[in-house]
Amino acid sequence: MTPTGGAVLHGFHVAMRKLFLLPVVVAAIWFDRRGAFIAAGLATVVYLPHVVVQWSGQPGENLNQLGEIASLWLVAWIAGALVKREKSVRQELLATNRGALLALVSALDAREKETERHSLRVSAYAGRLGRELGLEGQELETLVIAALLHDVGKIGVKDEILLKAGPLSDEEWAIMQEHPSIGSQILCRIPGLQPVAEAVLSHHEHYDGSGYPEGLKGEEAARASRIFSVVDAFDAMTMKRPYRGETFDYGSACGILRQQSGKQFDPEVVTAFLEIPEEEWRQLAVVPRGLRDLQFFSPS
């Protein structure tokens, strides 16, 4: 790829040897500085024989050829450093976001005790169920965050309703049913959480269209909400809640999920839930210390 004469041919060779920079930059993005240096080394091995064989005795061009090799290593170092810094900033931002998300849940927990534990359990359950259904990457992350924040709208529900011990009246239920809309309105204002807000809005929709707030049917509701609504119901059935008197054991809760498959819940999601061993659900019920322990919440 060393220029051999002619302005056009010279320009072509210069352009072609610049392409050696491309794998160096790509390697830096995918494998950090070490990958960039390996790519630079391989490019040098490929390019150097051409320099040796076609060494022309022209000092200016010889310096250009050696400069091309030096530029490979310089770009490798700079690109590797920039990628490392970018990933460091992402990690810092992620840690900040984790704290902010937990603060939202903790704010509600300050009013309704056990809400934070419920939200963390549902988030952990949702991550496991999402993986069972083949979710990954951004889709899985959206599911886990939405499950964590699904009840944040209860911040806007009056204490006498939110904290009431025992069943709610019809009027009180109507007010309680506003919490998905309130939560969605809170979250949609946060950059990057629009898909989460959509899932939170529809997490009380039913597969047969009998849910609220919009009466969505089947796959009209966000997939994330159709997934975590199953584990939300499971946790509500098996754990004590202020406005629910009766709790169910694992077998009884699974029986209700089967009964409501195709009615309240997406049949595909229920089937996936039931395929996961009971012991896994018991282990996940041990509340994580924070989002660090939810292994599904990570930068892509």
pLDDT tens digits along 25-75 = 888 778 777 888 888 888 888 877 777 766 666 666 667 777 778 888 888
What is the tens place of the pLDDT at every residue in 191-248? 778 899 999 999 999 999 999 999 999 999 999 999 999 999 999 999 876 555 678 9
> What six digits make up the tokens of 291?
């989002």
Res 89 pLDDT > 70: yes
pLDDT band at 7 (very low <50, low <70, confident <90, very high): low
Higher confidence at residue 175 or residue 98?
Answer: 175
Higher confidence at residue 176 or residue 14?
Answer: 176
> Would you put residue 195 in left (φ > 0), alpha (ψ -120 to 50) or beta?
alpha
Q: What is the pTM of this model?
A: 0.67
**What is the pLDDT at residue 205?**
96
**What is the pLDDT at residue 138?**
86
**What is the pLDDT at residue 131?**
95
**CATH superfamily to which 111-293 belongs:** Hypothetical protein af1432 (1.10.3210.10)
Q: How big is the CA angle at 128 (ends 124 and 134), to the nearest 5 degrees?
A: 140
What is the tens place of the pLDDT at every residue in 241-291? 655 567 899 999 999 999 999 999 999 999 999 999 999 999 998 855 545
**What is the pLDDT at residue 291?**
52
Domain map of the chain by residue range?
7-86, 111-293
> What six digits make up the tokens of 284?
């996940």
Res 292 pLDDT > 60: no
> What six digits make up the tokens of 153?
């709208």
